Structure 1
Amino acid sequence: MNALIAYSSKYGCTKKCVDLLHKELNGNVEIINLQTSKNIDLSKYDKIIIGGSIYMGMIQKEVKEFCNNNLEILKGKQTGLFICGMQEGESITTEINENFPKELLETSLIKEHFGGEFTFSKMKFFEKMIVKMISKTSSDKSNILKDNINNFALKMNSI
């Protein structure tokens, strides 16, 4: 299996999740940060995993552009999609559905939420204020969902 994990990370939590996922996947797996890489040759991959973090309901623009620019190719691949963030409950499904193209959602084999982190030292002033108001916390918090990452890897390995 040749697989690609294409991701974008704002403060590093998504990168941590990608590294955990990478360790659990079988075969040749390449990791590409969409913030620094463009014009990726998708023809050499059987499986493509795409993910990013959610801020104020939106995934990074690099992830959206990658999906939209490569939609026809991605629809013909075995794909898995994930988001990172501190959301819970029904908002997870909503954010997955609102941040990936509908056609890609319909053909993707797996969609998952990997959890998230608040790292106040990396946030700008305005972001800190919003997080404090919404989450009612003012200290760093990590909620990376390792079971979700492991289950995602198991499903991708079994395809």
Structure 2
Amino acid sequence: MRTLIIFSSSHGTTEKAAQLLKKQLNGEVELINLKKLSNPPLTDYDSVILGSSIYAGSVKSKVKQFIKQNQKSLMTKHLGLFLCCMFEGEKAEQQFETTYPKELREHSKANGLFGGEFMVSKMNFIERQIVKKVAGVTSDVSKINVEEIERFAKKLNA
């Protein structure tokens, strides 16, 4: 089985989660960052996994654009969807629902909330000020949920 993990990442957290996921999946797995290739072809893949982060309270625009251009094709694939965000519980679920259309969420074989990070060391001045004010964070914080990534991979491998 050939799998394509497509993601968009501001400071590398979603890419890190995609790399961790890749190690857990069976078969041939390829990673594509939408910053480098905005509309990769899906025809050669049996499975497609789409991942995004929440940045400044919103999903990455490249992910929104990709979904808009490829939703019909995604509905023909073995699909997985994941989100990296710092919220947990109901707030994280709301962000997931806002990120991915209902039709894709219902079609996907695995949906995952992989946690998130505040990589203050990679942020510009304005980003650091916003994170400090909104979340009270002044240094790097990682809450990547490795167990959730493993659970997600097991669902897709089944």
Instruction: Return the TM-score normalized by structure 1.
Output: 0.94
Consecutive unaligned residues in structure 2, runs of 5 or more? none
Partner of 2:45: 45
SS at match of 1:11: coil
Contact 2:50 2:82 (8 Å CA) reproduced = yes
Segments of 4+ in structure 1 off by > 3 A?
A: none
Contact 1:11 1:122 (8 Å CA) reproduced = yes
Consecutive unaligned residues in structure 1, runs of 5 or more? none
Q: For 1:91 and 1:31, how far apart are their aligned partners in 2?
A: 28
Indicate the percent of aligned positions where both proteins have the same amino acid: 45
Contact 2:4 2:31 (8 Å CA) reproduced = yes
Letter in 2 for 1:12: G
- Cα RMSD, aligned residues only: 1.2
Q: For 1:140 and 1:22, how far apart are their aligned partners in 2?
A: 24
**Offset, 1:31:** 0.7
Describe how 1:52-131 pairs up with structure 2 within 5 A.
52-131=52-131
Q: For 1:43 and 1:32, how far apart are their aligned partners in 2?
A: 14
**Offset, 1:47:** 0.8
Contact 1:8 1:33 (8 Å CA) reproduced = yes
Contact 2:24 2:150 (8 Å CA) reproduced = yes
Letter in 2 for 1:75: M
Describe how 1:126-137 pairs up with structure 2 within 5 A.
126-137=126-137
**Of 23-32 and 109-118, the range deviating more from structure 2:** 109-118
Instruction: Return the TM-score normalized by structure 2.
Output: 0.95
Q: For 2:100 and 2:57, how far apart are their aligned partners in 1?
A: 12
Letter in 2 for 1:113: L
Contact 1:68 1:101 (8 Å CA) reproduced = no
